[in-house]
Amino acid sequence: MHRALCPVETLYVGQRSRAVLSCTLRGRVDIEALTAAFRAVTQANPTLRSRIVADGTGHALALLDEAERPRLETRAGELAEAYATELNRPLPVGGPLSRAVLVSAPGGTDHLFVLVVDHTVTDGHSSITLHNTLWDHYRSLVTDEHPQSVRPDEADAPDWPEPVSTLLPPADEADTAAYLDARVTQTKRHPVELVPYDAAHTPDQATAAGAGEGHIDVCRLTLDTEHTTRLRERARQAGVSVHALIAAALLSTARRRFEGEGPRTLGCLSPVDLRSRLTPPLPASVMVPAVTTHLQTLQVAANSDPLDLARTVHARVSDFISGGSHFHEMRITPEIPRNPALQLATVIVTNMGVVPGPRLPGDLRVVDVRLVPAREHYFPQAGRSPVMACVVSFEGRLAIEFPHYTACFSPSFMRAFRDEVLDGLLAFASAARREPATADAG
């Protein structure tokens, strides 16, 4: 059985982007139970046991034969090396759209579990939910809890999820066309500047990467619970979102990569979740990409106040959503190949919000959880590109992942960028006023 991809989903086919969920574990892992848990979630979600095939002038999802379906891969090895390997390992078109790997360090008590899903069939929220659901199945199996119900294998009539583009509220075609014209005009009037690559100008990096070659690496920023809490307090006191504070820190850091003191036109791209904004809301368990984007341009000078930037970012994103433009933006997404500037930004700032980590049985604990986007195509020859920051708070601790291609941005460049963003966030957090203690009267 086939399920045609909608025009929005088709964009991901060319991008070859994927969500890489991982968790570092300590304790004993029951391989048989984890194998069964992965099979359960792939059985319940036909998109995870599918491939992308040609369908006329477009593409479609087609179920894999039983022998081709993804199964848990296990091996022994060093965990940091294994993570780098899986981050750089693609999901080729024509193959499975998901992969699960467990790597155990020598000694058998430390493990890395990696779950990779093609963005054609997932977004950040659904990939996190899938990851947690898999571990819920595992916990049920090893603790003899009542197993979660799993739909039977529907190979003959799979229950394909509906594309989000078909779930949008009705719209007048003329209104959508007018919105597109306005967006294209805006991008022409305010072209944004991209961050210049440094790798091509670094002899040691060019030698290490080879002639125009590199690999995906990731630089990470983390805050402990105290600083995460204080950052939230500062956002609340300033009347902005944490997302806006992070975007402001990124924009300020990016501005320092350009010469001069005067204003430069920078772009901030913010993904916008559609699940909670559909009627009825779409559960995070539904495996489809359900996100659109908001692009705004700002004049950022060397001395721009980061809090003023945050207020601008917050107000514009709020107006974008309250005015219903997020639905229009999804409708015009198929126009992006003809108008790439519609999503061209200096910084891309995702935000999954505060999400739970997996719940595990008592003999196994989570040391760390990560979500990193990766893709296949990078363009060192372009000389510049956006900087991406993937923001997520697992169990109340904020983390920002900076994935990059080493033939474009060197590891030292990204470490310096990361450290400056951290300084900006700590400055926001230190400015938070502690709420006064109160006592009940009487």
Which residue, of 97, 131, 162, is where some domain finishes?
A: 162
What is the domain extent for residue 179?
165-430
Q: Which of 162, 181, 201 is the last residue of a domain?
A: 162
Task: Please check whether residues 11 and 141 belong to one and the same domain.
Answer: yes
Considering the domain boundaries, does residue 442 fall inside one?
Answer: no
Question: Which DSSP string corresponds to 140-156?
Answer: HHHHTPPPPP-PPP-SS
**Co-location of 93 and 144 in the same domain:** yes
Of the candidates 44, 25, 134, which has an alpha carbon nearest to the alpha carbon of residue 368? 25
How far apart CA 373 and CA 134 sit, in angstroms, is 20
Residue 188 lies in a domain: yes
pLDDT at 433: 75
- Could you tell me if residue 438 is inside a domain? no
Same domain assignment for residues 146 and 173: no
| Judgement on whether residues 123 and 193 belong to the same structural domain of the protein | no
* CA dist., res. 271 & res. 295, Å (int): 9
> Are 154 and 169 members of one domain?
no
Q: Looking at the domain assignment, is residue 101 inside a domain?
A: yes
Same domain, 323 and 362: yes
- Environment class of residue 65 by beta-carbon count within 10 Å: exposed (0-12), middle (13-18) or buried (19+)? exposed
User: Within this chain, do residues 236 and 182 fall inside the same structural domain, yes or no?
Assistant: yes
Q: Are residues 253 and 361 in the same domain?
A: yes
What is the number of domains present in the chain?
A: 2
By the 8 A CB rule, do 403 and 385 touch? no
CATH number at residue 420: 3.30.559.30
Domain boundary among the residues 102, 130, 162 is at 162
Supply the pLDDT for residue 377: 87
pLDDT tens, per residue, the chain with 442 residues: 789 999 889 989 988 899 999 999 999 999 999 999 999 999 999 999 999 999 988 999 999 999 999 999 999 999 999 999 999 999 988 999 999 999 999 988 999 999 999 999 999 999 999 999 999 999 999 998 765 555 545 445 789 999 999 999 999 999 999 999 999 999 999 999 999 999 754 444 444 444 458 999 999 999 999 999 999 999 999 999 999 999 999 999 999 999 999 999 999 999 999 999 999 999 999 999 999 999 999 999 999 999 999 999 999 999 999 999 999 999 999 999 999 999 999 999 998 888 999 999 989 999 999 999 999 889 899 999 999 999 999 988 999 999 999 999 999 999 999 999 999 999 999 998 765 433 433 3
Round to whole Å and give the CA distance between 229 and 220: 19
Residue 15 lies in a domain: yes
How many other CB atoms sit within 10 Å of the CB of residue 140? 17
**Is residue 320 located within the same domain as residue 241?**
yes
CATH classification of the domain holding 51: 3.30.559.10
In-domain check, residue 441:
no
Whole-structure pTM over 0.85, yes or no?
yes
Do 132 and 170 lie in a common domain? no
Determine the Cα–Cα distance for residues 269 and 174; give it in Å rounded to an integer.
Answer: 26
Residue 436 in domain: no
Claim to verify: residue 179 and residue 117 sit in the same structural domain: no
Both tokens of residue 71?
Answer: 């199964």
Is 313 found in the same domain as 217? yes
72: in domain = yes
